[in-house]
């Protein structure tokens, strides 16, 4: 029996409702698969409640102890009662940066039975490789003469060959094993320093992947194609901030963030990767058991695949696809959706 040690971090709001469903389906899929594998779950409490009680977000000690796990299963963090940025920077980004989550992987697929806001209902099936450890997310910058008419506030986007290459190489590898098309997205006509670094890295790494067709799009243009021609994409690679924006849009055109899963991958294997829905804590609908747990369940599939449990991952995806195809307008609670998907596993 192989034991995988999983850090479980439901967090705030609907995070606490969807994570149990993600785990329920994952556990059931492992059982059904007959693989000699078990999960050992360790809970970590992070989020608004703890911050209010203790002033802590995620401590350095906890960050260290996270390293001992094989993966992290995360829900969501954030609450209107906490100043914006405190939990995001203190929990989510602290893990992405501290654990070297170079690749923020975000698949976008329009499943059968799912309504798209797009009239053309195009065939959408691509993945976004969002760089996860640099760009505008480093927190560098600051402000002077704060809260006066002379205030100056800066944000520094930091980009390194090392960081960009990790994401770009991962994206080329994915493109190579998919439809062999890579679109890299930036704004190199304006942000010339970072943009030209990205361009050079793509050109250089691309030499190793002669079969992959590469094209470039400005971020603004990419948003247009996302609604007029999303079937053009196979793999998109882009920077942290552009990736944040484009993947919410990609989720929207494929049926909404209720379905969008993601993996924050340490591609060098030096620390555990983290799996989470791309949606947030959604305080407006929290506590009512009406949140859709599908994104968390699909994040469980991404985690299974990352742990080498491909059969498990595939069975979860198939169960989700089957559920989506017949879902219609049925009103089900969060747990009922989890149960229904688990029941399809065999």
Ligand X SMILES: CC(C)[C@H](C(=O)O)[C@@H](O)C(=O)O
Active site positions, annotated: 137, 187, 220, 244, 248
Residue 23 near residue 41, CB atoms below 8 Å: yes
Q: Which residues sit opposite 267 in a β-bridge?
A: none
**Judged by CB under 6 A, does residue 251 bind ligand X?**
no
Nearer residue to a copy of itself within complex by CB, 260 or 319? 260
Nearest distance in Å: CB 244, ligand X = 4
Sites for a copy of itself among residues 2-61 (CB under 8 A): none
What are the two backbone dihedrals, phi and then psi, of residue 274, each rounded to the nearest 5 degrees? Answer: -125, 140
Nearest distance in Å: CB 315, a copy of itself = 30
The residue within the footprint of ligand X, chosen from 92, 235, 274, 345 (CB under 6 A), is: 92
Sites for a copy of itself among residues 120-179 (CB under 8 A): 120-121, 136-137, 139, 141-143, 145-162, 165
Nearest distance in Å: CB 129, ligand X = 14
**Judged by CB under 8 A, does residue 63 bind a copy of itself?**
no
Q: What span, in angstroms and rounded, lies between the C-alpha atoms of 333 and 336?
A: 5
Nearest distance in Å: CB 53, a copy of itself = 21
Among all residues, whose Cβ is closest to ligand X? 88
The residue within the footprint of a copy of itself, chosen from 41, 56, 190, 208 (CB under 8 A), is: 190
**Judged by CB under 6 A, does residue 220 bind ligand X?**
yes
**Judged by CB under 6 A, does residue 190 bind ligand X?**
yes
The residue within the footprint of ligand X, chosen from 12, 62, 131, 244 (CB under 6 A), is: 244
Q: What span, in angstroms and rounded, lies between the C-alpha atoms of 163 and 172?
A: 15
Residues 238-272 as b or e (16 or more Cβ within 10 Å = b): bbbbbbbebbeebbbbbbbbbbbbbbbbbbeeebb
Residue 247 near residue 128, CB atoms below 8 Å: yes
Q: Which helix (H) or strand (E) holds 86?
A: helix 86-87
The residue within the footprint of a copy of itself, chosen from 24, 166, 174, 188 (CB under 8 A), is: 188
Residue 235 near residue 126, CB atoms below 8 Å: yes
**Which conformational region is residue 328 in: left (phi greater than 0), alpha (psi within -120 to 50 degrees), or beta?**
left
Residues engaged in binding ligand X (CB under 6 A): 88, 92, 189-190, 220, 244, 278, 280
């Amino acid at each position: 029996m192989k034991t995988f040690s999983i850090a479980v971090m439901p967090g705030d709001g609907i995070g606490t409702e969807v994570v149990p469903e993600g785990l329920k389906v994952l556990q059931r899929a492992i059982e059904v698969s007959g693989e000699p594998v078990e999960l050992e779950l360790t809970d970590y409490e992070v989020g608004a409640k703890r911050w209010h009680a203790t002033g802590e977000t995620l401590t350095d000690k906890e960050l260290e102890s996270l390293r001992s796990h094989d993966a992290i299963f995360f829900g969501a963090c954030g609450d209107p009662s906490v100043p914006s940025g405190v939990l995001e920077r203190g929990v989510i980004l602290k893990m992405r940066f501290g654990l070297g989550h170079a690749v923020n992987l975000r698949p976008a697929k329009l499943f059968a039975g799912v309504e798209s806001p797009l009239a053309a209902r195009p065939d959408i099936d691509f993945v976004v490789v969002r760089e996860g450890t640099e760009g505008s997310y480093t927190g560098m910058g600051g402000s002077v003469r704060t809260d006066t008419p002379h205030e100056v506030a800066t944000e520094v986007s930091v980009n390194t060959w090392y960081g960009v290459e990790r994401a770009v190489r991962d994206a080329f590898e994915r493109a190579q094993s998919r439809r062999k098309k890579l679109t890299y997205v930036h704004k190199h006509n304006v942000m010339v320093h970072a943009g030209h670094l990205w361009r050079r890295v793509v050109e250089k790494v691309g030499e190793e992947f002669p079969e992959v067709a590469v094209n470039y799009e400005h971020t603004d243009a990419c948003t247009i194609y996302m609604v007029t021609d999303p079937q053009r994409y196979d793999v998109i690679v882009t920077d942290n901030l552009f990736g944040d924006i484009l993947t919410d849009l990609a989720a929207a055109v494929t049926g909404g963030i209720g379905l969008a899963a993601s993996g924050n991958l340490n591609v060098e294997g030096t620390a555990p990767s983290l799996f989470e829905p791309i949606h947030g804590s959604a305080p407006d609908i929290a506590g009512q058991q009406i949140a859709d747990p599908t994104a968390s369940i699909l994040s469980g599939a991404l985690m299974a695949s990352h742990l080498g449990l491909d059969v498990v991952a595939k069975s979860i995806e198939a169960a989700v696809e089957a559920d989506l195809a017949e879902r219609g307008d049925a009103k089900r609670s969060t747990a009922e959706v989890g149960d229904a998907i688990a029941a399809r596993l065999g």
